[in-house]
Structure 1
Amino acid sequence: MKITDPSTPDIVAAASTFAALGSEQRLSVLRALVRAGPEGLSIGELGARSGVTGSTLTHHMRILAQAGLVAQEKRGRSIICAAVAYDELRALSDFLLRECCADSAHPHEEHDHG
């Protein structure tokens, strides 16, 4: 049986990122930004697409920004929000699937995730 040390940096970083994503509203905000691509969305458009507005949106953007998943940039009179951590999001999913079935008696091929 393969044992993974739960104090490794991978699991610490993953736990921190998962904590930032631990809200339906934050997931909705991040999903809207990922769908918009690198050009991002204005705060107003992000609110319209995600269904999260006002101080609630500000709160969730702060948490996502602290996790390094999104960024905000003032452009003229607008604030543009964008997802910036595509590689980190991919690494997070890889973290979950990297050791797929490592402790199983069944070969990995029977559990194709990929």
Structure 2
Amino acid sequence: MRSEEAAQGFAALGSEARLEVVQALVRAGAPGLSVGDIQVRTGMAPSTLAHHLRFLAAAGLVVQERQGRTVINRADFDRLEALGRFAMEECCIEQPSEKEEQNG
């Protein structure tokens, strides 16, 4: 994942409301949720929710699929996992190993 993609993903998660939407979709799992179901779980107004869903979809964190007159929203689990990996990929690389500390 490129830094630009990661920044866009983290920016999308930088809103408490959008984070709440993503968490609702993660809890729902692969079947996803309709917009109405997300509204029930989050208590967001329809126009506010629509705005946040567009933002999350543009960042690639939510996938939307029309099924007849209903739009099903799903968390993009691969993308969310990639964000986590990006944040942690250089974890502790500057920390001296035990061997280096012993030879100090």
Q: What stretches of structure 2 of length at least 5 have no aligned partner?
A: 99-104
Q: Identity rate of aligned residues, in percent?
A: 51
Distance (whole Å) between structure 2 residues aligned to residue 106 and residue 50 of structure 1: 45
Q: Any stretches of 5+ residues in structure 1 without a counterpart?
A: 1-8, 108-114
Task: Tell me the residue number matched to 2:86.
Answer: 95
Inter-partner Cα distance in structure 1 for 2:34 and 2:74: 9
The match for 1:14 is: 6
What is the alpha-carbon distance in structure 1 between the residues aligned to residue 25 and residue 41 of structure 2?
A: 9
Deviation at 1:51, TM superposition (A): 2.6
1:47 paired to 2:39: yes
Normalising by structure 1, report the TM-score: 0.76
How far, CA to CA, are the matches of 1:27 and 1:98 in structure 2? 22
1:56 corresponds to which of 48, 60, 81: 48
**Higher share of residues assigned helix:** 2
Higher RCO (Cα < 8 Å, 6 or more apart): 2
How many residues get paired? 98
Match of 1:25 among 17, 23, 34: 17
The runs of at least 4 consecutive aligned structure 1 residues that moved more than 6 Å come to none
User: How far apart in 2 are the matches of 1:62 and 1:73?
Assistant: 13
